[in-house]
């Protein structure tokens, strides 16, 4: 066991953790922050994406002890004062969510992308979420949501009535 001290969504936590505990399990099981999901546990799917000092990591591939002294942000910190963030509102508006299992990780990746690139191109958006698998949506509506929140969507994606 090692004592670590870190902030998660701006709140300070001090905990004893086993050296082999992943950040993902630490967040989910020790802090009860179940919004971060596990889709593979092997660094391949992005469901466990969180921000680590502002940069995305697959939390299944990071040890909790590595987070000592760091700032971690998870999906639980995205909505503020009981209100969805602009990004979440855009996901809702554009139906960028179906089963929702990839969504927390997807939003964290998109959050980092928008920090880095406030007006990303379609190619940059696709690049930015490439590491986040979504089996349900086919990604298109996620791209549209990000275009919208960055003020670049020309026309809402619509079902055409032939």
Partner 1 sequence: MLENQDPATLKYVGKGALRAEGVEKMTGQAVYASDMVMPGMLYAQVKKSPHARAKILGIDVSKAEALPGVRAVLVGSELDYRLGLYVVDKDILAKGEVRHYGEAVAAVAADTLEIAKAAVDLIEVKYEVLPPILNHMDALKKDAPLVHPDLGTYDFVKAAFTPVPGTNIANLTKLRKGDVEKGFAESEWIIEREYTNPSVQHVPMETHVAIVQWKTGDDVTIWTSAQSPFTVRSLFCYAFKLPLNKVRVVIPHVGGGFGGKAGIHIEPLVACLSRKAGGAPVKFQATREEEFSLLPCRSALTYRIKTGVRSDGKIVAQKMSMYWDAGAYADYAVNVTRASGYSGAGPYEIPNAWLDAYTIYTNKPYGTAYRGFGHVEFFWGLERHMELVAQAIGMDSLEFRRKNALRPGSVTLTGEVISENSGNVLKCINEAAASIGYGSLSADEKAREKETGRKIGKGIAALHKAPAMPPFTATAVIIRMNSDGTVLVNLALTEIGQGSVTAYSQIVAERLKFRLDQVKVTVEKDTDRDPYDWQTVASKGIILTGNACILACDDLLKGAYETAGQILRAQSCDLDHDDTRVFVRHHPEQGVTFASIAVGYAYPDGNAIGGPLIGVGRYVAQGLSNLDKETGQGYPALDWTYGAHGIVVEVDPATGEFRILKIASIFDVGKAINPDLVRGQCIGGMVQGLGTAVCEGYIYDQEGHLLNPSFTDNKIPTSKDIPDEIDCAVVETPQLDGPYGARGVGEHPMISVAPALGNAIQHAVGAELLHMPIRAEDVWRAMRNSGPIDNWITKTPSGSCRSDPAARRHDPDHAITP
| Contacting residues toward partner 1, per CB under 8 A | 28, 33-42, 44-45, 47, 74-76, 78-79, 84, 88, 91-93, 95, 97-104, 107, 125-127, 129-143, 157-162
C-beta of 133: minimal distance to ligand FES in Å? 7
Which CB sits closer to partner 1, 69 or 84?
84
Q: Give the β-pairing of 2-8 and 71-73.
A: parallel
Q: Quick check: 158 and 123 in contact, CB under 8 A? A: no
Q: Return residues touching ligand FES (CB under 6 A).
A: 38-41, 43-48, 58, 60, 97-103, 134-137
Which CB sits closer to partner 1, 4 or 105?
105
How far CA 112 is from CA of 42, 89, 99, 162, in Å, comes to 21, 17, 22, 39
Which CB sits closer to partner 1, 5 or 36?
36
The order of strands in the sheet holding 71-73 is 11-17, 2-8, 71-73, 49-52, 55-58
Out of partner 1, ligand FES, none, which partner does residue 15 contact, by CB within 5 to 8 A per kind? none
How far is Cα 120 from Cα 128, in angstroms, rounded to an integer?
9
């Amino acid at each position: 066991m090692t004592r670590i001290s870190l902030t998660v969504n701006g709140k300070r936590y001090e905990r004893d953790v086993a050296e082999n505990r992943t950040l993902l399990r630490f967040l989910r099981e020790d802090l009860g922050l179940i919004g971060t999901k596990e889709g593979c546990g092997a660094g391949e799917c992005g469901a466990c994406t969180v921000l680590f000092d502002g940069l995305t990591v697959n939390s299944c591939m990071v040890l909790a002890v590595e987070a000592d002294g760091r700032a971690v942000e998870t999906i639980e910190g995205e909505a503020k004062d009981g209100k969805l963030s602009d990004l979440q509102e855009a996901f809702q508006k554009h139906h960028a969510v179906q089963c929702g299992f990839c969504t927390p990780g997807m939003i964290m990746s998109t959050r980092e992308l928008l920090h880095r690139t406030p007006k990303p191109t379609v190619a940059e958006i696709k690049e930015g979420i490439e590491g986040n698998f979504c089996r349900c949506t086919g990604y298109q509506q996620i791209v549209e949501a990000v275009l919208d929140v960055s003020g670049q969507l020309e026309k809402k994606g619509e079902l055409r009535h032939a």
